[in-house]
């Protein structure tokens, strides 16, 4: 279990910094401590924002030291940050060693009776931070009215949200409703700290800081007065809720911007992966004799031998898809089963994949043949870290058409280079950063000749856990079907 402390600071006080430091020390037994939005110099103290921004670096040093002193993760609420003459409303999260785990610039600036839009610049990036307690998304106050931000953070792996706020009294019911809604719709913890009391600008903050669990149940809350409250939560409860009641997995309108892939883990939790480059590896068998035999077989098909072994092809990330249908402009294209490695920020995901290829063009221009067709990934993924101890037990199976009883390809994944070696080879060959890189592993030989059918299914099977990843799709020849 994890202890979370919400510090509901007064909107005004003779010594705001001293008050905050004292209450942080009093919450030293907590695993996580969270402060409100713009508690220094106070949210409505717009004329003091520039001066406050100059104080922020020193204040952050003091807060980082307090994280070390208390041995807690310390969410510093939000402070006014200056950057090249531009001001931001920025949240900071420190680990128990004082290291900064996350920094989030408030994206949605409030304009209704507020000068925030006049003084500040909005941030542009959703932030999810890895902490000793789990992966948490950061948000600030008015962000609560924009559910797409919280869904994006959920897709980035967040099990909960840390929200710093300066929410005023006239909209207290909206505050309570939105906190619960964001928790329920994302099946995530909501941990929100608000300011309390009169601000001195004819506005009072409503308090009501709260911890809400992934089912929407309030675990702990405060009233409208300054104070502190502690709550006990189990971070694993988010995964349990998503597994027991898989609402996130039942979504259909995913809204995938750019080259983002929305994937799913075993329990239905969505993972949004931003693909920045796609690298196809080829001739990756561990057995050099098998590589030579495969190259010889391809030469019989009229395909020239590679210049290097392993060989690599770099494609645009837009060639990746998890769709169940792809379009081609040839009657001689087919898939091939592979495993894919998706290198995220702190996590490597494994998917089943098909390197669909125009075989006729392959005999003329290998690189062009690879670019012509989309590469299909399974929508479900596994964590590589959960497979490494039994990786060589995994197996491939492919069928074409997809419902065929006889396999088109079948064999052990151990025939190919393991993920650790493939990752090293790609990094050595292309350099970093690796985050956002998708690597297709290369394939095993077909059991017969190339076959061209209107559907293909690639499977990655794990006999140890009795589960499979599947990339199945139909092939639409636009020249014949239109």
Active site amino acids? 37, 106, 141
H or E segment and range at residue 81: strand 73-83
Cβ neighbours for 111, distance < 8 A, ≥ 6 positions apart: 117
Query: Shortest CA distance to 328 belongs to which of 366, 362, 374, 363?
Result: 374
* Burial class for 13, CB neighbours closer than 10 Å (0-12, 13-18, 19+): middle
Query: Is 31 in contact with 70 (CB distance < 8 Å)?
Result: no
Beta strands 337-343 and 437-440: pairing type? antiparallel
Query: Shortest CA distance to 200 belongs to which of 42, 48, 55?
Result: 42
Extract the tokens encoding 150. Answer: 């919280």
Cβ neighbours for 128, distance < 8 A, ≥ 6 positions apart: 102, 135, 136, 137, 138, 153, 156, 157, 158
- Residue 217: count of CB within 10 angstroms of its CB: 11
Distance CA(365)–CA(283), nearest Å, equals 17
**Angle (nearest 5°) at CA 114 between 113 and 120:** 155
Extract the tokens encoding 104. Answer: 């989030």
Q: How far is CA 110 from CA 34, 142, 151, 214, 345, in A?
A: 21, 6, 20, 27, 31
Distance CA(113)–CA(141), nearest Å, equals 15
Cβ neighbours for 284, distance < 8 A, ≥ 6 positions apart: 310, 416, 417, 422, 441, 442
Widest pairwise Cα distance in the chain? 84
Check residue 245 and report its DSSP letter.
S
> For the residues of 429-456, what is the DSSP string, one character each?
HH-S--TTEEEE------SSS----SEE
Helices (H), 288-395: 288-300, 359-362, 366-372
- In DSSP terms, 202 is beta-bridged to none
Query: Shortest CA distance to 352 belongs to which of 309, 387, 328, 300?
Result: 387
């Amino acid at each position: 279990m994890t202890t979370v402390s919400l510090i509901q600071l007064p909107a005004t006080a003779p010594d705001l910094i001293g008050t905050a430091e004292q209450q942080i020390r009093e919450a030293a037994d907590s695993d996580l401590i969270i402060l409100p939005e713009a508690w220094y110099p106070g949210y409505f103290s717009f004329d003091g924002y520039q001066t406050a921004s100059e104080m922020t670096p020193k204040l952050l040093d003091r807060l980082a030291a307090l994280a070390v002193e208390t041995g807690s993760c310390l969410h510093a609420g939000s402070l006014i940050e200056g950057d090249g003459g531009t001001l931001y409303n920025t949240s900071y999260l420190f680990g128990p060693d004082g290291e900064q785990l996350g920094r989030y610039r408030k994206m949605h600036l409030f304009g209704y009776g507020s000068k925030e839009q006049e003084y500040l610049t909005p941030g542009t990036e959703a932030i999810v931070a890895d902490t000793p307690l789990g992966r948490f998304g950061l948000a600030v106050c008015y962000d609560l009215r924009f559910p797409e931000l919280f869904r994006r953070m959920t897709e980035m792996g967040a099990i909960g949200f840390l929200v710093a706020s300066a929410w005023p009294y006239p909209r207290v019911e909206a505050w309570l409703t939105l906190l619960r809604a964001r928790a329920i719709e994302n099946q995530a913890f909501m941990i929100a700290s608000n300011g309390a009391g009169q601000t001195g600008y004819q506005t009072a903050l409503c308090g009501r800081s709260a911890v809400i669990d992934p089912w929407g149940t309030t675990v702990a809350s405060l009233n409208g007065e300054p104070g502190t409250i502690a709550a006990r939560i189990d971070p694993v409860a988010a995964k349990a809720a998503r597994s027991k009641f898989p609402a996130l997995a039942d979504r259909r309108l995913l809204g995938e911007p750019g080259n983002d892939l929305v994937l799913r883990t075993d329990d239905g939790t969505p993972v949004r992966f931003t693909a920045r480059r796609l690298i196809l590896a080829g001739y990756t068998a561990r057995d050099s004799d098998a590589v030579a035999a495969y190259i010889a077989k391809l030469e019989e098909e009229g395909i020239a031998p590679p210049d290097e072994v392993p060989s690599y092809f770099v494609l645009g990330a837009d060639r990746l898809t998890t769709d169940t249908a792809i379009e081609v402009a040839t009657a001689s294209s087919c898939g091939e089963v592979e495993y894919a490695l998706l290198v995220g920020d702190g996590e490597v995901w494994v998917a089943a994949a098909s390197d669909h290829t125009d075989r006729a063009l392959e005999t003329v221009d290998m690189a062009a043949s690879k670019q012509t067709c989309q590469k299909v990934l399974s929508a479900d993924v596994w964590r590589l870290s959960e497979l490494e101890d039994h990786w060589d037990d995994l197996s491939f199976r492919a069928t074409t058409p997809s419902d065929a009883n006889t396999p088109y390809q079948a064999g052990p994944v151990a025939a190919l280079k393991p993920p650790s070696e493939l990752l090293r080879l790609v990094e050595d060959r292309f350099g970093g950063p690796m985050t956002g890189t998708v690597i297709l592993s290369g394939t095993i030989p077909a059991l017969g000749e190339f076959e061209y059918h209107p559907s293909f299914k690639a499977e990655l099977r794990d006999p140890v856990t009795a589960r499979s990843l599947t990339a199945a799709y139909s092939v639409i020849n636009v020249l014949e079907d239109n």
